[in-house]
Structures are given as structure tokens and as C-alpha cells.
């Protein structure tokens, strides 16, 4: 539940990297789900990876970046080909729909969050082109 005294903080970030490196970083950075994270969406683009996040406040994201993401990046020796493009804003209007699996597009699984709240994490489903067992 969102704290009525805080305005959610949203971020759109374009990172010049590949999916393999993103996947290695996200495995260490988002499991368990960071405190304060409401939504994290990522996908490949022509320039790299686009990440969209909504946090319960700017401080939650700053703590995540300083305490967890920085540690994961350092441990993996991760670098990018250039500087990420970053845009942020206060999410004055936020609508959250009921979580449900997307047929054929993702494989969903429940993972524990740091607060114990139920969270659904989605990873790309295996490529099944040509698989007639669907």
C-alpha cells in the first residue's frame, strides 16, 4: 500500500548494455525485491535496455542504488558502453492493475519481498518456436 504522505517516484532509464549483462545484474539486485519498489519493467531496445521503475519515494531508490545495486555492479565488474540516459518524475497518477500472467509471453513466479508482501516476478518464457506441444 502506498503511503499517502509520499508521492511515488518514477524513473525511465535507457542503459547501453545487452540483455545477458542486464539479466546477471538484475538477478543479484532484485531478489529479494528491494524495500520500496512498486514496479520494475525492463526490455531490450535498439540502443540497449530500457528500464521503467516506480518506487514509493525517491529515497527508496537512492538507498537501493547506493546499498544494493552498487555492490552488485562492483562484484560483477559490470560496465556499460556509455552513459545511461535517465529521466525521473513524481508519479502523481499511478494505477496498478491486478497481477496476472501474460499468456505465452512470460513465465511468472512468486518471489519473497523484503517486507514479506507477495510479489510477482516475470522472466521471459523459453523460446518455443516450432514446439508443437503448446
Nearest to 26 by CA among 101, 76, 100, 80: 76
- Report d(CA 87, CA 120) in Å as an integer: 25
- pLDDT, residue 67, reads 92
Does residue 55 form part of some domain? yes
Task: Read off the pLDDT band of 106 (50, 70, 90).
Answer: very low
2 or 19, which is more confident:
19
Cβ(40)–Cβ(53) under 8 Å? Answer: yes
3-58 pLDDT, tens digit per residue, is 445 789 999 999 999 999 899 889 889 988 999 999 999 999 999 999 999 999 99
Q: How many structural domains are present in the chain? A: 1
Mean pLDDT of 98-111: 49
Rounded mean pLDDT, 84-89:
89
93 inside domain: yes
Residue 77 within a domain: yes
> Residue 91: which domain range?
9-98
Average pLDDT, the chain: 76
State yes or no: pLDDT of 107 exceeds 80: no
Number of H helices, E strands in the chain: 3, 6
Residue 42 belongs to some domain of the structure: yes
Averaged pLDDT, 82-92: 86
Q: Is residue 25 part of a domain?
A: yes
Strand partners, 90: 9
Q: Give the domain CATH number at 92.
A: 3.30.70.100
The answer to whether residues 13 and 55 touch, using CB atoms and an 8 Å cutoff, is no
Of 78 and 58, more confident: 58
Amino acid at each position: 500500500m502506498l503511503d499517502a504522505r509520499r508521492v511515488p517516484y518514477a524513473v525511465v532509464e535507457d542503459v547501453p548494455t545487452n540483455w545477458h549483462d542486464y539479466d546477471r545484474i538484475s538477478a543479484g539486485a532484485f531478489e529479494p525485491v528491494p524495500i520500496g519498489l512498486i514496479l520494475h519493467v525492463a526490455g531490450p531496445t535498439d540502443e540497449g535496455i530500457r528500464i521503467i521503475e516506480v518506487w514509493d519515494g525517491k529515497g527508496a531508490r537512492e538507498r537501493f542504488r547506493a546499498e544494493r545495486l552498487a555492490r552488485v555492479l562492483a562484484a560483477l565488474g559490470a560496465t556499460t558502453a556509455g552513459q545511461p540516459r535517465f529521466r525521473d518524475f513524481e508519479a502523481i497518477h499511478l494505477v496498478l492493475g491486478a497481477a496476472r500472467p501474460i499468456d505465452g509471453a512470460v513465465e511468472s513466479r512468486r518471489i519473497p519481498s523484503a517486507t514479506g508482501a507477495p510479489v510477482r516476478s516475470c522472466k521471459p518464457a523459453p523460446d518455443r518456436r516450432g514446439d508443437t506441444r503448446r
